[in-house]
């Protein structure tokens, strides 16, 4: 048989699911568990969004729609990009997809060939590493450091960028660390990409989830996604719509054209009535985003303060998203040992190493939980550490 298109042995799957399954099993056996493993907001999807989708179903909006997305949603996305990124993409630069993840997939598939260099950060969102490996691209990893608040610096990229660099993958706010890129750094990186004729794939799924007055800065400011920048964003996080599967990419026309053809072969279109919900979220969802960010701000305070009281832990404030990434080096245990110990003690979280080698010495907690649950989890962690230190 001829070789398959990619190396399937390099696909990573979803590491949190393994911990989730173990926590479910312990819970089923009657163990009281506090769950910090999964990266999804615990709020219901806003009622107005659900109502619009219900209405669309009632009206029979249940058939194939254009592969690029319904015109109403494309317009709403253009409006939102204009408001949040300061430029209005052309209609031909927008493609609706079933989530941000397909945007990452198609962004890589349409730009990177086997052997091309891709620069990305470690720790990373696992999908990146999985797909870059699968595609046979050359991995150029840049370590993120706590001393830099887990921000990649332009100097680090300058050191690694070469004529063979095809794409730089950015993610700000970042999963798993909550790191947020600064304006000057984003600008320097965008300029470097231009000088070296590299693409930038910018995963901006957490761009509406910022703290401390931080602002989102997209590398698309330079080319407005006309030449080299691909923005990927979606509805899962800020509008609590993970199960709806809805996202989009803004990209140069030729990349949209290729994605369009490939996506038509894969799935024909994104679910029709779901897209109507997306229009409502973008048009009338800011109140909801503000509401959940008020909660996340209180939760962030509880989780960071609490983690700093756990023996052997220290934790900086994440600037965006809803993940805490505490340093556990003082405990003398590895990330995996500690995550395994915690799960036995009734706290499910992830080892930093689920997100790459640079995650050693750290844990990741998704604080999409009530303050009460966070406090309960912290108490369990303190007890758990007293047993081993």
Ligand X SMILES: Cc1ncc(COP(=O)(O)O)c(C=O)c1O
Residue 236 engages ligand X in binding (rule: CB under 6 A): yes
Binding residue for ligand X (CB under 6 A) from 69, 107, 154, 234?
A: 234
Tokens representing 157? 């990229």
User: Nearest distance from residue 81's CB to ligand X, in Å?
Assistant: 16
> What minimum distance in Å lies between the beta carbon of 176 and ligand X?
8
Which CB, 70 or 385, lies closer to ligand X? 70
- Interaction between residue 100 and ligand X (CB under 6 A): yes
C-beta closer to ligand X: residue 101 or 300: 101
- Residue whose Cβ sits closest to ligand X: 99
Residue among 37 and 203 whose Cβ is closer to ligand X: 203
- CA-based torsion, 349, 247, 262, 268: positive or negative: positive
* Residues of this chain, 173-202, that bind ligand X according to CB under 6 A: 175
State which residue, 354 or 385, has the beta carbon closest to ligand X: 354
Give the orientation angle of helix 71-85 with respect to helix 272-284, to 10 degrees.
30
Closest CB to ligand X among residues 235, 273: 235
- Write the Ramachandran bin of 385: left for phi over 0, alpha for psi from -120 to 50, otherwise beta: alpha
- In the sheet with 363-366, reading across from the earlier edge strand, the strands are 323-324, 363-366, 350-351
The one segment of 71-79, 98-106, 177-185, 367-375 that binds ligand X by CB under 6 A: 98-106
Q: To 10 degrees, the CA torsion angle through 167, 170, 175, 177?
A: 120
Tell me the closest approach of the beta carbon of residue 210 to ligand X, in angstroms. Answer: 14
What is the Cα–Cα distance from 161 to 387, expressed in whole angstroms? 47
Q: What are phi and psi of 72, to 5 degrees?
A: -60, -40
Out of 36, 105, 125, 134, the only residue in the binding site for ligand X (CB under 6 A) is 125
Of 100 and 269, the one with the shorter C-beta distance to ligand X is 100
- Least distance CB 100 / ligand X (angstroms): 3
58-97: which residues touch ligand X (CB under 6 A)?
A: none
With CB under 6 A as the rule, give the number of residues binding ligand X: 13
Q: Which is nearer to ligand X, 274 or 384 (CB)?
A: 274
326 binds ligand X per the rule CB under 6 A: no
100 or 180: CB nearest ligand X:
100
Cα separation values, 175 from 121, 127, 148, 204, Å: 11, 11, 15, 10
Question: Which of 234, 346 has the CB closer to ligand X?
Answer: 234
**The binder of ligand X chosen from 203, 209, 347, 377 (CB under 6 A):** 203
Query: Is residue 166 close enough to count as binding ligand X by CB under 6 A?
Result: no
99 lies in the binding site for ligand X (CB under 6 A): yes
Instruction: Please check whether residue 10 is in contact with residue 337, taking contact to mean a CB–CB distance below 8 angstroms.
Output: no
Phi, psi for residue 41 in degrees, rounded to 5: -60, 145
- When the beta carbons of 70 and 170 are compared against ligand X, the nearer one is 170
Cα separation of 338 and 114, whole Å?
A: 37
Distance separating alpha carbons of residues 152 and 50, to the nearest angstrom: 38
Is residue 170 part of the contact set for ligand X (CB under 6 A)? Answer: no
- Tell me which of 89, 107, 219, 247 binds ligand X, using CB under 6 A: 247
Maximum distance among all alpha carbons in the chain? 62
- The string of DSSP codes covering 279-346 is HHHHHH-HHHHHHHHHHHHHHHHHHHHHHTTSTT-B-PPPSBTTEE--B-GGGT--HHHHHHHHHHTT
Please state, in angstroms and rounded to a whole number, the distance separating the CA atoms of residues 278 and 247: 9
CB atoms within 10 A of CB 27: 14
Nearer of residues 120 and 313 to ligand X, judged by Cβ = 120
Among 27, 84, 122, 242, binds ligand X (CB under 6 A): 242
- The site string for ligand X over 5-44 (x = CB under 6 A, - otherwise) reads ----------------------------------x-----
Residues 261-300: x where in contact with ligand X by CB under 6 A, - otherwise, as a string? ----------------------------------------
Q: Which of 152, 209, 213, 180 is nearest to 316 (CA)?
A: 180
What are the beta bridge partners of residue 201? 169, 230
User: Under 8 Å CB-to-CB from 235, ≥6 apart: which residues?
Assistant: 241, 244, 246, 247, 278, 281
Where does this chain bind ligand X (CB under 6 A)?
39, 99-101, 125, 171, 175, 203, 205, 234, 236, 242, 247
């Amino acid at each position: 048989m001829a070789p398959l298109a990619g190396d399937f042995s390099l696909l990573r799957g979803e590491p949190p699911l393994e911990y989730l399954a173990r926590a479910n099993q312990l819970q089923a056996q009657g163990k009281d568990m506090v769950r910090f493993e999964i990266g999804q907001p615990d709020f219901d999807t806003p009622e107005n969004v659900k109502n619009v989708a219900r209405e669309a179903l009632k009206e029979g909006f249940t058939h194939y729609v254009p592969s690029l997305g319904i015109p109403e949603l494309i317009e709403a996305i253009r409006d939102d990009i204009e408001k949040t990124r300061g430029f209005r993409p052309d209609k031909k630069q927008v493609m609706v997809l079933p989530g941000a993840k397909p945007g990452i997939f198609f962004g890589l598939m349409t730009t990177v060939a086997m052997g091309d260099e891709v620069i990305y950060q470690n720790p990373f969102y696992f999908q990146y590493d999985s797909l870059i490996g699968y595609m046979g691209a050359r991995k150029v990893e840049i370590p993120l450091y706590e001393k830099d608040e887990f921000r990649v610096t332009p100097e680090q990229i300058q050191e690694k960028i070469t004529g063979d660099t095809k794409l730089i993958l950015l993610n700000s706010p970042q999963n798993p660390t909550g790191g947020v890129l600064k304006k000057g750094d984003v600008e320097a990186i965008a300029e470097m990409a231009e000088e070296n004729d590299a693409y930038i794939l910018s995963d901006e799924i957490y761009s509406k989830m910022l703290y401390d007055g931080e602002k989102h800065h997209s590398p698309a400011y330079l080319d407005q996604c006309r030449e080299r920048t691909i923005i990927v964003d979606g509805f899962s996080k800020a509008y609590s719509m993970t199960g709806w599967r809805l996202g989009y990419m803004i990209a140069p026309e030729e990349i949209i054209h290729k994605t369009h053809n490939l996506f038509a072969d894969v799935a024909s279109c994104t679910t029709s009535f779901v897209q109507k919900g997306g229009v409502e979220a973008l048009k009338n969802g800011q109140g909801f985003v503000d509401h959940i960010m008020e909660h996340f701000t209180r939760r962030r305070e509880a989780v960071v303060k609490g983690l700093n009281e756990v023996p052997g832990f220290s934790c900086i404030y994440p600037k965006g998203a809803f993940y805490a990434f505490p340093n556990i080096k003082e405990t003398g245990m590895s990330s995996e040992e500690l995550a395994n110990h915690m799960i036995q003690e009734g706290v499910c979280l992830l080892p930093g190493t689920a997100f790459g080698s640079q995650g050693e010495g750290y844990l990741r907690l998704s604080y999409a939980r009530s303050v009460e649950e966070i406090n309960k989890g912290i108490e369990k962690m303190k007890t758990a550490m007293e047993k081993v230190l």
